[in-house]
Chains A and B, each alone.
Chain A
């Protein structure tokens, strides 16, 4: 599903973000990407999402060989990857419903189908009662749920999560991760960058630990600390 072969990423200012990363993530896996800030977790996700290109090495996502695809194919790659963020990245002037529907409009879905799928996914995340609210009227956890709903509304095979619980209280964080495992159970590969020790230890999954741009540990059902 996701394969990285000897990936290096250097920034123009000489900073080495990733060094010799080789990693295979299979279909329907749930992987925690852990490590301190600056370890390269976000960079890794950005490379998978192709919002940045590796300096060297090869990345294969689903059926896409990232070094070979043209810029105009990137949108199609992204339609098979859902992405959620610490800061939600919602459109402030649009309702909950519109924020989610937007993702499907972009893919030229017919209106009826959009309606059906958006309602379905909002039910899944538990926001069906609040679909006409504006994002700022909702709590952080609820906003994160909108973001999740938007990311999975078209049933992408991969869901990338960049510190999804970074701004949330522990209870809400639990709720969000429960939701992510539920999504994982629906045949979606989930890669979640986090430094929330409680969650990693509380819901054990495969753990990939990073430090200074390198993978230090890759362990099935591992904890936050080895």
Chain B
């Protein structure tokens, strides 16, 4: 295809959009709205993933050991645990270090003085490789009652966050698919209106020997432009909205681990842009191909 043809196609596509202004506007707005919802769910998913992975990282199992144990018994127990499957890391925490840490952390609360001497036992801090392995691991470790006084772990909250993020991902996916197909339908119909408006022109093009590609290109460009404009509107709205929402949340819940890295956000906005453009072009392609198929 020669470069001069390109100008021809672009001109043709603008003529087409100008001829059905209202539908073109509606198509752009629909793409924008769907992409905003899509982008919102992407942002939500990224944040939930970030949140759960932070939690899982912090998910430690703490084994509080019996006071009666000797150093060598502790050493021996530690080695036994280390050989178990699914353990990511284990660290021995000396009761004196733990006490120093505790004193440092809770100095302001004034309980240090009341307690007096160190009440803490020795403990072992242990991380598992997979979150799902925690429960069986804990019940297994509890059986070592000669060594273990108590096992503490924060599984409940992790489970809840995990299941919520699963749900959000599923719901998001369903919603995105629904929105995506309805957007596609609207684009198909919008472009079909411009195709129908130019049916005569198309049949004359075929008459003088235009290839299908030649006929399709102006419409594909039209779909592309509709998609891009819809995507730009969506991305602008999303980034302004997310920053505003983020600031509001952080202002009231300061430790909320929201994703603000430019790289990650840019990635999401890129996905939104690509999806919008793709839907625009796919819609155009479907409506023109349908039209071309019925006409010899």
Q: Which residues of A contact B (CB under 8 A)?
A: 50-53, 71-72, 74-79, 83, 89-91, 102-103, 105-108, 110-111, 150
**In whole angstroms, how far apart are the Cα atoms of A50 and B209 in the complex?**
11
Q: Which of A71, A91, A108 contacts B5 (CB 8 A)?
A: A108
A160 → chain B closest CB, angstroms: 11
Q: Are A106 and B2 in contact (CB under 8 A)?
A: no
B221 → chain A closest CB, angstroms: 16
* Residues of chain B contacted by A107 (CB below 8 angstroms): 208-209
**In whole angstroms, how far apart are the Cα atoms of A106 and B296 in the complex?**
17
Q: Are B4 and A78 in contact (CB under 8 A)?
A: no
B214 at the A interface (CB under 8 A): yes
Q: Are B212 and A72 in contact (CB under 8 A)?
A: yes
* Residues of chain A contacted by B201 (CB below 8 angstroms): 91
Q: Name 29 interchain pairs, CB-CB below 8 A, sorted by A.
A: A51-B296, A52-B296, A53-B296, A71-B296, A72-B211, A75-B209, A75-B211, A75-B212, A76-B209, A78-B206, A78-B207, A78-B208, A79-B208, A89-B200, A89-B203, A91-B201, A91-B204, A102-B205, A102-B208, A103-B209, A105-B5, A106-B205, A106-B210, A106-B214, A108-B1, A110-B2, A110-B4, A111-B4, A150-B208
B11 → chain A closest CB, angstroms: 11
**In whole angstroms, how far apart are the Cα atoms of A91 and B205 in the complex?**
10
* Residues of chain A contacted by B205 (CB below 8 angstroms): 102, 106
Q: Which of A50, A71, A102, A108 contacts B2 (CB 8 A)?
A: A108
**In whole angstroms, how far apart are the Cα atoms of A38 and B204 in the complex?**
24
**In whole angstroms, how far apart are the Cα atoms of A89 and B202 in the complex?**
11
**In whole angstroms, how far apart are the Cα atoms of A110 and B4 in the complex?**
8
**In whole angstroms, how far apart are the Cα atoms of A216 and B2 in the complex?**
49
Other A-B contacts than A77-B209, A89-B204, 7 sampled, CB-CB below 8 A, are: A53-B296, A76-B209, A79-B208, A79-B209, A91-B200, A102-B205, A106-B208
Which of B1, B203, B296: most chain A CB closer than 10 A?
B296
B8 at the A interface (CB under 8 A): yes
* Residues of chain A contacted by B204 (CB below 8 angstroms): 89-91, 102
Q: Are A106 and B4 in contact (CB under 8 A)?
A: no
**In whole angstroms, how far apart are the Cα atoms of A106 and B218 in the complex?**
13
* Residues of chain A contacted by B214 (CB below 8 angstroms): 106
B20 → chain A closest CB, angstroms: 15
Residue interface mask B271-295, A partner, CB < 8 A = 1: 0000000000000000000000000
- A81 closest partner in B (C-beta): B209
Q: Are B4 and A89 in contact (CB under 8 A)?
A: no
* Residues of chain B contacted by A76 (CB below 8 angstroms): 209
**In whole angstroms, how far apart are the Cα atoms of A26 and B210 in the complex?**
27
Q: Are A89 and B207 in contact (CB under 8 A)?
A: yes
* Residues of chain A contacted by B5 (CB below 8 angstroms): 105, 108
Q: Are A103 and B211 in contact (CB under 8 A)?
A: no
* Residues of chain B contacted by A102 (CB below 8 angstroms): 204-205, 208
**In whole angstroms, how far apart are the Cα atoms of A174 and B200 in the complex?**
29
B165 → chain A closest CB, angstroms: 49
Pick the 3 closest A-B CB pairs, nearest first: A78-B209, A79-B209, A103-B208
**In whole angstroms, how far apart are the Cα atoms of A50 and B206 in the complex?**
11
Q: Are A75 and B4 in contact (CB under 8 A)?
A: no
**In whole angstroms, how far apart are the Cα atoms of A105 and B212 in the complex?**
14
A111 → chain B closest CB, angstroms: 6
Q: Are B207 and A83 in contact (CB under 8 A)?
A: yes
**In whole angstroms, how far apart are the Cα atoms of A110 and B5 in the complex?**
9
B194 → chain A closest CB, angstroms: 14
Residue interface mask B178-222, A partner, CB < 8 A = 1: 000000000000000000000011011111111110100000000
**In whole angstroms, how far apart are the Cα atoms of A106 and B201 in the complex?**
12
- A79 closest partner in B (C-beta): B209
**In whole angstroms, how far apart are the Cα atoms of A208 and B200 in the complex?**
31
* Residues of chain B contacted by A108 (CB below 8 angstroms): 1-2, 5
**In whole angstroms, how far apart are the Cα atoms of A117 and B207 in the complex?**
19
- A151 closest partner in B (C-beta): B208
Which residues of B140-175 are within 8 A (CB) of A? none
* Residues of chain B contacted by A103 (CB below 8 angstroms): 208-209
* Residues of chain B contacted by A78 (CB below 8 angstroms): 206-209
**In whole angstroms, how far apart are the Cα atoms of A83 and B205 in the complex?**
12
**In whole angstroms, how far apart are the Cα atoms of A51 and B208 in the complex?**
12
- B215 closest partner in A (C-beta): A106
B105 → chain A closest CB, angstroms: 75
